[in-house]
Amino acid sequence: MARILIVDDDQGMREFMEIMLEKEGHDVTSAENATKALNLCNRKDFDLIVTDLRMPQIDGIEFLRKIKDQKPEIMVILVTAYASGETAVNAMKEGAYDYVEKGGSIDELKRIIHEALLKKGLVSEKISPKKEVLEEPLFFGMIGRSREMQKIFSMIKKIADTPANILILGESGTGKELVARAIHENSNRSKMPFRAINSGGIPETLLESEMFGYMKGSFTGAYMDKPGLFEMARGGTIFLDEIGELPPVLQVKLLRVVQEKSFRRIGGSEDIKVDVRIISATNQNLEEKVKKGEFREDLFFRLNVIPIYIPPLRERKDDIPLLTNHFIEKYAKEFNKEIRTISSYAMELLLNYSFPGNIRELENIIERGVAMENTNIILPENLVLETSTTADNRKNNDINITDSGIDLNEELEKVERKIVEKALEKTKGSKTKAAELLHITLDSLRYRIEKLGIE
């Protein structure tokens, strides 16, 4: 049972939500405006707040901001009849868990509430069968049935039409360019150009000319005027991959494009105005690079208006069978083979593998497996995995029990400490987010931190 607060100036909507959630077994309280809701929050603890966006005096965004200042651990879901991409962006920036349209699917609202409560450890994993078929696993070239990927698909739909810059975060091989293309294809710029450039794979002098173009005679070999990618992407989207590798000089020039929507070609004297949406991506910790003076802070904030984090494949193993079957079908057709599936033992090997190279590595493994396989099913012996990784994982999980025995409680505390410290490191010290990652309450995490003496 969860403690849920409903905030809506529409009495009918409040009553409907109360009935629906009380049937689910939750403790439900309601308020007709944000002022009363804030007073209730001062007297009672809530796990989740579902609030309308448009309310008199204090609207949903301002209410969200006040709640997050006072009690950041409370999850907030915004519901409104006046959906817009800009509002969705503001809601997410202020810390909303999610954002749904009033009058939309009741099952969708139930699903989002269930997922929020699941993250806080307040409901079981078991859900209505309807959720299993709620979302399609294929989305503009991306594949994913896991909760993490479904949430990314949903977010792309909400933010696609906004002009805000987007920063995609994730390890190498997680599919950052696919996410960028999906945003472009879902946006009102979809009929305009999409241009991509890898900021880390091109020498600095060549990178500048690729991005901004040059004028005839500006350097040896410049025999004619050449437009850069920003000009070629006019009206559309430019994707700057590995943005953390951008040299300092080009960081300054990119900042000018972001701020003034204009730039000059190499050797040019006239400003060129462009309307282009910038999507960047990195596998690095840009905040750390900012602290070290390796990346401009003002540019970081300009690019990081909407961050999207793509989890590594090892954190969404539900997607491995789906991706595996997709790659088998792709390469069986390419190599003209009758392979249609993978043996259960081979699949077990994949599910127990850590995939340091993520989806790109999985694709390479399956491509190699299909090429080597002579039967109609991929067998374990034709899967070439990085054995050093699996060996390291096995070594890390080994516990040596001596003849004199071990102190079990002490060993368990060591494991617990590592997990809690890892979660806090991943969330940059945010206890609220760490508790969500560990599927425990904030109070439970605080207890463990105090018990283990973690600073």
33-42 pLDDT, tens digit each: 999 999 999 9
pLDDT score for 392: 45
Of 281-295, 314-328, 424-438, where does mean pLDDT reach its minimum?
424-438
Say whether pLDDT at 448 is over 80.
Answer: no
Long-range contacts of 71-74 (CB under 8 A, 24+ apart): 71/41, 72/432, 73/431, 73/432, 73/435, 73/442, 74/41, 74/46, 74/47, 74/48, 74/49
Q: What percent of the chain has pLDDT over 70?
A: 87
Q: What is the DSSP letter of 172?
A: T
Rounded to whole angstroms, the Cα distance separating 385 from 355 reads 9
Distance CA(208)–CA(206), nearest Å, equals: 5
Is residue 234 within 8 A of residue 226, CB to CB? The reply is no
The larger pLDDT score, comparing residue 65 to residue 90, is at: 65
Q: How far is CA 217 from CA 123, 210, 265, 359, in A?
A: 68, 16, 12, 44
The pLDDT tens digits for 388-404 are 444 344 444 445 565 56
Q: What's the pLDDT at 95?
A: 78
pLDDT given for residue 403 in this prediction: 59
> Edge-to-edge, what's the strand order for the sheet holding 98-101?
27-31, 3-7, 48-52, 75-80, 98-101
Residue 413 has pLDDT above 80, yes or no: no
Host H or E run for residue 282: strand 277-282
Rounded-to-integer distance, Cα 65 and Cα 53, Å: 12
Average pLDDT over residues 423-432: 82
Give the pLDDT score at 395.
41
Q: pLDDT value at position 443?
A: 67
Q: How confident is the model at residue 360, as a pLDDT?
A: 93
Quick one: DSSP state of residue 242? T
List beta partners, residue 31: 7
Check residue 325 and report its DSSP letter: H
Calpha distance 103→450 (Å, rounded): 45
Predicted confidence at residue 61, as pLDDT, reads 86
pLDDT tens-place string over residues 141-186? 888 888 889 889 989 988 998 888 999 999 999 999 999 999 999 9
Tell me, yes or no, if the two domains 3-134 and 408-452 fold the same way.
no
pLDDT of 81: 64
Q: Of 165, 428, 159, nearest to 301 (Cα)?
A: 165
> Which residue(s) pair with 227 in the sheet?
213
At 117 the three-state DSSP class reads: helix
pLDDT (tens digit, 9 = 90+) per residue, 206-234? Answer: 888 889 888 888 877 778 888 889 999 99
Question: What SS3 class is residue 228?
Answer: coil
pLDDT at 334 over 90: yes
Q: How many Cβ atoms from other residues are within 10 Å of residue 84's Cβ?
A: 13
Q: How confident is the model at residue 49 (pLDDT cuts 50, 70, 90)?
A: very high
- Domain boundaries defined on the chain: 3-134, 150-309, 313-397, 408-452
pLDDT above 60 (res 126): no
Single-letter code of the amino acid located at 215: M
User: Quick one: pLDDT at residue 312?
Assistant: 93
Q: What is the mean pLDDT of residues 66-85?
A: 78
Confidence of residue 103 (pLDDT cuts 50, 70, 90): low
The answer as to CATH 3.40.190.10 being correct for domain 150-309 is: no
Q: Which of 16-30, 93-107, 357-371 shows the lowest mean pLDDT across its residues? A: 93-107
**285 compared with 417, residue with greater pLDDT:** 285
Q: Which residue from 339, 424, 405, 439 is spatially nearest to 120, judged by alpha carbons?
A: 439
Angle between helices 408-426 and 442-452 in degrees, nearest 10: 120
d(Cα 193, Cα 235) in Å, to the nearest integer? 7
Give the pLDDT confidence score for residue 133 in this predicted structure.
37
What is the band of 70 on the pLDDT scale with cuts at 50, 70, 90? confident
CA distances from 149 to 35, 138, 144, 175, 294 (A): 36, 10, 5, 11, 31
What's residue 184's pLDDT? 95
Whether the per-residue pLDDT at 328 is higher than 90: the answer is yes
Residue 134 has pLDDT above 60, yes or no: no
Mean pLDDT score across all residues of the chain = 83
Amino acid identity for residue 6 in this structure: I
Cα distance between residue 304 and residue 166, in whole Å? 6
| Domain boundaries 408-452, corresponding CATH code | 1.10.10
pLDDT band of 82, cuts 50, 70, 90: low
The CATH number of domain 3-134 is 3.40.50.2300: yes
What is the spatial distance between Cα 223 and Cα 279, in angstroms, rounded to a whole number? 31
248-295 pLDDT per residue, tens: 989 999 999 999 999 888 888 888 998 999 999 999 999 999 999 999
Helix axes 147-159, 85-93, angle to 10 degrees: 130
- The DSSP-derived string for 27-48 is EEEEESSHHHHHHHHHHS--SE
What is the distance between the alpha carbons of residues 145 and 189, in angstroms, rounded to a whole number?
27
End-to-end CA distance of the chain: 32
Rg of the chain in Å (alpha carbons): 25
Q: Which CATH class is domain 313-397?
A: mainly alpha
Confirm if 58 and 41 have CB atoms less than 8 A apart. no
Beta-bridged to residue 279, according to DSSP, are 166, 239
Nearest to 104 by CA among 124, 83, 120: 83
Question: 174-194, pLDDT tens digit by residue?
Answer: 999 999 999 999 999 999 999
Provide the residue type at 175 as one letter: G
